[in-house]
C-alpha cells in the first residue's frame, strides 16, 4: 500500500471501490445525493462495527492499565442526540459555533472576522529609519484607512520563521527571501505588530501584519483593508454561520422550541456526570465512554467521509483530580496512539501534532491531535483524533448554567492529606474539587476512512488489480468458502462447512463461476482467507486455504479450518 501513488486518483479509486463493492454509498443516491451525508452499505457497516467494537472493548470492557499500574474505572453511556438547548450555551457551542465571517467582494475569499490577517505593501527605501512612520500602500483606499507603519526595529528574528511557516502567506506572496523583519505600528491599530519584509517572486517587497482582525474590526468593516488586496471597503459585513444543525421538537415550530443536534457526544457525558457518580461506584479518576452520531453544519463537506455533516464519534471523558491531569493527559496520549497502531495502521503514516496556543479551543489547556497521512493530504497529514486537556471547563460551565453542584468529594485524597498532616482547612478545601477532564475524541467514520485508505493496495499482477489488506480482525468478511468446481459433491461439502462456520464469524459461500473469479472478488473486499473444497477433500478431508496477501495456499484438515481462522482474528 505504501507503493500506491498518493495522488487524488488513488482517492477516487477508493471512493469508486467503496461504492462498487457496497462499503459506502452517497446518501440519497437515487435523488442525486445530499451533500455531506453518506450511507454505509452491507460491507461498510460490518467494517465500521468491527472498528467500533474494538474501541469499545479496548476502552470500556478492558481498559488499559493506568500509569502507576492501577485499574482504570471505565463505564459506558449512550446519551440522547438532542439535549436541552442550554447544554450548548454552557458548552460554548452556541457562541463558538457562530463564527462571524466576512467575504471579500472582489477576490471572493472568505475569512473569519476575528482571524483576519492583512498583508500590506511597503516599498522599502534606503531612507527608512527606525522610529519613523511610513504609509503602507494600498491600491485605492479611503485616506483614513491607510495604516502608517512605524519602524521600531529591524533585523532577523523568530517571527520570520513563524510567518514563513504560514502556508497561505507563503503561497500568496511567493516568498523567496526574508530580507528583515521589523516591529512596526499602524495608525489604526495597536503599536506592536510583527511585520516582515520579504522579497517575493512577484518582485515586490511586502510588509505582513498579523492578526489585525480585532483591532481593525473595531474601526468598522468598511474601513478594514482586505487581507489580500489591502483595499478598504471590499469586505462585507460580518455574518454568522451557525455550525450546529437545529430542529424543533414538539408540535409547534417556534424559536422557543429550538434544539440542536449534538455537534459532539462529549456533552452528554458531562450532563450525566452527577448521575454516574451517584448511581455507580466509580471513583475519581474514572472515564465515561460513548460512541454515537454527531452533526455539524460544515461549510464545506469534503474528501469523501473525512468531513461530513453527520458523522460518528468515539469519545471518552476521563475525570481526574486537577493535580493529576497532566499525568493522565500524557497517559491517554500514549494509549490512544497504541490503539490506532492496533488497527494495523502503518506507523509512519501516523503522527502527533500539538496544538499551538492560539489554536487551542476555548476550553482546552492542551490538545494534541493524532494525524494520519491521507491520500488527499499527502505529504501532509490530516486529523484523526484529538486528545484534549479540558481542565474543569465543562463541569464548571454546566454547574453554573444548571445551578447543580457538579463537584466531587475525594475521600482518598482527604485521607492522604490527613496522613501528610495537612491542616483541617486545607483538607476541606482540597478534597472537594471539580474534576479535570482529559478527552480522547476520535472519529469512527474517520477510522473507517483510514482503514480503507490503509488497506487499499494496487497489485497489477492479480486479476482484480487491487485488494484490500485489512487486518483480519477488521475485515468485513473473514472467510470465503468455495467448492473448486460445482460438481462431484463438492458444493454440498462446502455448504456443510459454511453452515458450521457461519455461526462463528462472517463467511461467504460461493459456487458460481471459476475459482479465480471468486478469489478476485474476495480480494476486492478484503477477505483475508478462502477455503477451497477439492478432490482431496472428497477423498481425505484435506482443504486448501488461500491467503489474501501472499496468495499462497496451504493444506489442512477440514476440521481445523475454524481454528485456523479464529487464531488469525486475534
Partner RNA sequence: GCGGGUGUAGCUCAAUGGCAGAGCGCUAGCCUUCCAAGCUAGCUGUUGUGGGUUCGACUCCCAUCACCCGCUCCA
Q: Where are the beta strands (DSSP E) in 321-395?
A: 350-354, 366-372, 382-391
Report the site for RNA in 285-344 (rule: CB under 7 A). Answer: 296, 298-304, 306-309, 311, 313
- Residue from 5, 20, 174, 362 binding RNA (CB under 7 A): 20
- Residue from 246, 488, 500, 541 binding RNA (CB under 7 A): 488
Q: Does 111 engage in binding with RNA (CB under 7 A)?
A: yes
**Sequence-separated (6 or more) residues with CB below 8 Å from residue 529:** 472, 478, 479, 480, 545, 546, 547, 548, 564, 565, 568
C-alpha cell at 61: 470492557
Between 48 and 546, name the residue whose CB sits nearer to RNA: 546
Q: Does 551 engage in binding with RNA (CB under 7 A)?
A: yes
Residues forming beta bridges with residue 440, ordered by sequence position:
387
Residue with cell 501513488: 5
Contact at 8 Å (CB) between 520 and 464?
A: yes
Between 96 and 233, name the residue whose CB sits nearer to RNA: 96
Q: Does 33 engage in binding with RNA (CB under 7 A)?
A: yes
Between 109 and 541, name the residue whose CB sits nearer to RNA: 109
Report the site for RNA in 148-167 (rule: CB under 7 A). Answer: 167
Measured from the CB of residue 440, what is the shortest distance to RNA in angstroms? 10
Q: d(Cα 339, Cα 336) in Å, to the nearest integer? A: 5
Binding window for RNA (CB under 7 A); candidates: 4-12, 141-149, 208-216, 285-293? 4-12
Q: Give the burial class of 257: count Cβ atoms within 10 A of its Cβ; 0-12 exposed, 13-18 middle, 19 or more buried.
A: middle
Between 168 and 218, name the residue whose CB sits nearer to RNA: 168
Report the site for RNA in 165-184 (rule: CB under 7 A). Answer: 167-168
Site string for RNA, 365-394 (x = CB under 7 A): ----x------x------xxxx--------
CA distances (Å), origin 310, targets 59, 241, 249: 23, 17, 19
C-alpha cell at 500: 458450521
Q: Does 460 engage in binding with RNA (CB under 7 A)?
A: no
Q: Does 11 engage in binding with RNA (CB under 7 A)?
A: yes
Between 150 and 308, name the residue whose CB sits nearer to RNA: 308
Between 342 and 513, name the residue whose CB sits nearer to RNA: 513
Q: Count other Cβ atoms within 10 Å, centred on residue 461.
A: 7
Under DSSP, is residue 327 helix (H, G, I), strand (E, B) or coil?
Answer: helix
Q: Does 91 engage in binding with RNA (CB under 7 A)?
A: no
Q: Does 110 engage in binding with RNA (CB under 7 A)?
A: yes
- Residue from 57, 275, 404, 553 binding RNA (CB under 7 A): 553
Q: Does 88 engage in binding with RNA (CB under 7 A)?
A: no
Helices (H), 465-506: 490-501
- Total count of residues recorded for the chain: 570
Q: d(Cα 522, Cα 530) in Å, to the nearest integer? A: 8
140 phi, psi to nearest 5 deg:
-150, 60
Residue with cell 454516574: 276
Chain-centroid distance, C-alpha 6:
20
- Residue from 3, 32, 155, 252 binding RNA (CB under 7 A): 32
Q: Where are the beta strands (DSSP E) in 304-425?
A: 310-320, 350-354, 366-372, 382-391, 408-409
**Sequence-separated (6 or more) residues with CB below 8 Å from residue 324:** 285, 436
Measured from the CB of residue 176, what is the shortest distance to RNA in angstroms? 20
* Size of residue set near RNA by CB under 7 A: 81
Q: Does 101 engage in binding with RNA (CB under 7 A)?
A: yes
Q: Does 519 engage in binding with RNA (CB under 7 A)?
A: yes
Site string for RNA, 240-269 (x = CB under 7 A): ---x--------------------x-----
- Residue from 173, 261, 448, 484 binding RNA (CB under 7 A): 484
Measured from the CB of residue 514, what is the shortest distance to RNA in angstroms? 3
Q: Does 464 engage in binding with RNA (CB under 7 A)?
A: yes
The pairing of strands 529-533 and 479-483 is parallel
Measured from the CB of residue 469, what is the shortest distance to RNA in angstroms? 15
Q: Does 55 engage in binding with RNA (CB under 7 A)?
A: no
Report the site for RNA in 399-458 (rule: CB under 7 A). Answer: 441-443, 445-446
Amino acid at each position: 500500500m505504501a507503493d500506491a501513488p498518493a495522488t487524488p486518483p488513488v482517492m477516487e479509486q477508493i471512493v469508486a471501490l467503496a461504492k462498487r463493492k457496497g462499503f459506502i454509498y452517497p446518501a440519497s443516491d437515487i435523488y442525486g445525493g445530499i451533500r455531506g451525508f453518506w450511507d454505509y452499505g452491507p460491507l461498510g457497516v460490518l467494517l465500521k462495527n468491527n472498528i467500533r467494537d474494538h474501541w469499545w472493548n479496548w476502552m470500556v470492557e478492558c481498559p488499559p492499565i493506568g500509569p502507576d499500574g492501577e485499574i482504570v474505572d471505565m463505564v459506558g453511556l449512550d446519551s440522547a442526540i438532542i439535549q436541552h438547548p442550554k447544554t450548548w450555551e454552557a458548552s460554548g457551542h452556541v457562541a463558538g459555533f457562530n463564527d462571524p465571517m466576512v467575504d471579500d467582494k472582489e477576490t471572493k475569499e472568505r475569512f473569519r472576522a476575528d482571524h483576519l490577517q492583512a498583508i500590506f505593501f511597503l516599498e522599502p527605501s534606503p531612507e527608512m529609519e527606525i522610529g519613523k512612520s511610513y504609509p503602507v500602500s494600498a491600491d485605492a483606499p479611503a485616506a483614513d484607512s491607510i495604516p502608517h507603519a512605524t519602524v521600531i526595529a529591524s533585523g532577523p528574528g523568530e517571527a520570520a520563521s513563524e510567518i514563513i511557516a504560514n502556508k497561505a502567506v507563503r503561497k500568496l506572496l511567493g516568498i523567496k527571501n526574508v530580507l528583515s523583519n521589523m516591529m512596526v505600528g499602524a495608525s489604526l491599530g495597536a503599536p506592536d505588530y510583527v511585520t516582515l519584509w520579504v522579497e517575493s517572486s512577484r518582485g515586490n517587497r511586502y510588509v505582513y501584519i498579523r492578526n489585525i482582525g480585532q483591532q481593525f474590526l473595531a474601526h468598522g468593516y468598511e474601513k478594514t483593508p482586505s487581507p489580500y488586496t489591502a483595499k478598504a471597503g471590499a469586505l462585507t459585513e460580518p455574518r454568522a454561520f451557525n455550525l450546529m444543525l437545529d430542529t424543533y421538537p414538539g408540535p409547534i415550530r417556534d424559536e422557543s422550541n429550538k434544539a440542536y443536534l449534538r455537534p459532539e457526544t462529549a456533552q452528554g457525558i458531562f450532563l450525566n456526570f452527577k448521575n454516574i457518580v451517584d448511581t455507580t461506584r466509580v471513583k475519581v479518576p474514572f472515564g465515561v465512554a460513548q460512541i454515537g452520531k454527531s452533526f455539524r453544519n460544515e461549510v464545506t463537506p469534503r474528501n469523501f467521509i473525512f468531513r461530513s455533516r453527520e458523522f460518528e464519534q468515539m469519545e471518552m471523558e476521563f475525570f481526574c483530580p486537577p493535580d493529576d491531569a497532566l499525568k493522565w493527559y500524557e497517559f491517554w496520549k500514549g494509549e490512544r496512539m497504541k490503539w490506532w497502531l492496533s488497527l494495523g495502521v502503518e506507523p509512519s503514516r501516523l503522527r502527533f501534532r500539538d496544538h499551538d496556543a492560539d489554536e487551542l479551543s476555548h476550553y482546552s489547556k492542551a490538545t494534541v491531535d493524532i494525524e494520519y497521512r491521507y491520500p488527499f493530504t499527502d505529504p501532509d497529514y490530516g486529523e484523526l483524533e484529538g486528545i484534549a486537556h479540558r481542565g474543569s471547563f465543562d463541569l464548571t460551565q454546566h454547574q453554573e448554567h444548571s445551578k447543580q453542584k457538579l463537584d466531587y468529594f475525594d475521600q482518598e485524597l482527604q485521607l492522604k492529606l490527613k496522613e501528610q498532616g495537612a491542616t483541617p482547612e486545607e483538607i476541606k478545601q482540597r478534597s472537594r474539587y471539580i474534576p479535570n477532564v482529559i478527552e480522547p475524541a476520535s472519529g469512527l467514520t474517520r477510522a473507517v476512512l483510514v482503514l480503507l485508505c490503509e488497506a487499499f493496495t494496487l497489485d497489477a499482477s492479480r486479476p482484480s488489480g487491487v485488494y484490500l489488506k485489512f487486518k483480519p480482525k477488521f475485515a468485513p468478511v473473514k472467510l470465503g468458502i468455495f467448492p473448486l468446481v460445482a460438481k462431484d459433491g463438492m458444493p454440498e461439502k462446502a455448504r456443510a462447512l459454511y453452515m458450521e462456520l457461519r455461526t462463528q464469524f462472517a463467511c461467504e459461500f460461493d459456487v458460481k463461476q471459476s475459482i479465480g473469479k471468486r478469489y478476485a472478488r474476495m480480494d476486492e473486499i478484503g477477505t483475508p482467507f478462502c477455503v477451497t473444497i477439492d478432490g482431496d477433500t472428497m477423498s481425505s478431508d484435506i482443504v486448501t486455504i488461500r491467503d489474501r496477501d501472499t496468495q499462497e495456499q496451504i493444506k489442512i484438515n477440514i476440521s481445523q479450518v475454524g481454528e485456523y481462522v479464529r487464531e488469525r482474528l486475534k
